[in-house]
Amino acid sequence: MTAFCHQRFRFLAGALLLAAWAMPQARAGQTCAEKKTTPETVARSMALAQRTADALEAAYRRDGTRVVLLARAGQDLSRYRQTWSHVGWAYRSAAGPWRVVHKLNQCGTDQSALMRQGVGEFFLDDLWRYQAGWTAAPAPLADALWTLLQDNQHVQRLHHSRYNMLGYTWGTRYQQSNQWALETLALAAEPEVGDRDQAQAWLRFKGYRPAMLHIGTMTRLGARVTRANIAFDDHPNEQRFASRIETTTADSMLQWLPSALRFGAVQQIGE
């Protein structure tokens, strides 16, 4: 990153990877060669990050908001009737700057890791659309999430490194990025949750409904052959053979949280 960007966006200066989970390169379900970063895309990403950071800080000063589910549009998912591609938990650190904890895929492989980044870095992941969405966690759930997100050991308790971009919501063979965020919410909300099965049981009890995507046989076969980070073998046969892929999407989370857990109305920021 250029020195200019570091000077202009101070919230990037202190962004750190979680110590034991650093990866040389990572993206949200994309290969590292899919898009080429240009000065223009960096500038647009940083402008969006600055507006988002300003909006989050304004919400904190206005009503004490300090934990939100933050979404970005890194891929065009309109064919599946989805707006957002990826979410992370953003929190206001004790020192002041906002940080984002989220799960990233390692350059199109079947492996992933958790990252702690600044808001600027969160939006540098080759965006498809320069917009952000977020919903604020209510107290006392916000307090539980705020504490969990800053604990390096606790935040990775339900993390599973085997990655599948279209992982089955109610399975544990793989874990995609949005799935980790959702299961970690269950961990923060319910002290008795001790593993992924229990987290998923809590989510079912609370009425979470994943997205059902229609993905045809040829598309599935092509993706499985060419992409190491896409698999379908964890989905129930009756759904898979009917081209019905049930997975955790950012849109399904943003629709569910305000009604089920009293998160705030979804806010959008964009060009």
| pLDDT tens for each residue of the chain, 271 residues long | 322 233 333 443 333 333 333 333 455 655 555 556 789 999 999 999 999 999 999 999 999 999 999 999 999 999 999 999 999 999 999 999 999 999 999 888 999 999 999 999 999 977 999 999 999 999 999 999 999 999 999 999 999 999 999 999 999 999 999 999 999 999 999 999 999 999 999 999 999 999 999 987 656 555 543 467 889 999 999 998 898 999 999 999 999 999 999 999 999 999 7
Name the DSSP letter for residue 24: S
Burial class (CB in 10 A: 0-12, 13-18, 19+), 41: middle
Preceding peptide of 140 cis, ω within 30°: yes
Q: Give residue 162's pLDDT.
A: 96
Q: Give residue 21's pLDDT.
A: 34
Name the DSSP letter for residue 80: G
Q: Give residue 217's pLDDT.
A: 64
For residues 145 and 59, give the distance between their C-alpha atoms in angstroms, rounded to a whole number.
17
Backbone angles phi, psi at 87, to 5 degrees: -130, 160
Stated pTM of the model: 0.87
Q: Give residue 152's pLDDT.
A: 95
CB contact at 8 A, 20 and 159: no
User: What one-letter code names the amino acid at 65?
Assistant: T
For residues 207 and 188, give the distance between their C-alpha atoms in angstroms, rounded to a whole number.
17
Q: Give residue 268's pLDDT.
A: 97
For residues 100 and 123, give the distance between their C-alpha atoms in angstroms, rounded to a whole number.
10
Polymer length in residues for the chain = 271
Q: Give residue 10's pLDDT.
A: 41
Burial class (CB in 10 A: 0-12, 13-18, 19+), 118: buried
Going by C-alpha positions, the residue among 234, 198, 116, 109 that lies closest to residue 161 is: 109
Strands 86-92 and 98-105, bridge-based pairing: antiparallel
Give exposure, 209-223, as e/b (b: 16+ Cβ within 10 Å).
ebbebebeeeebeeb
For residues 15 and 125, give the distance between their C-alpha atoms in angstroms, rounded to a whole number.
15
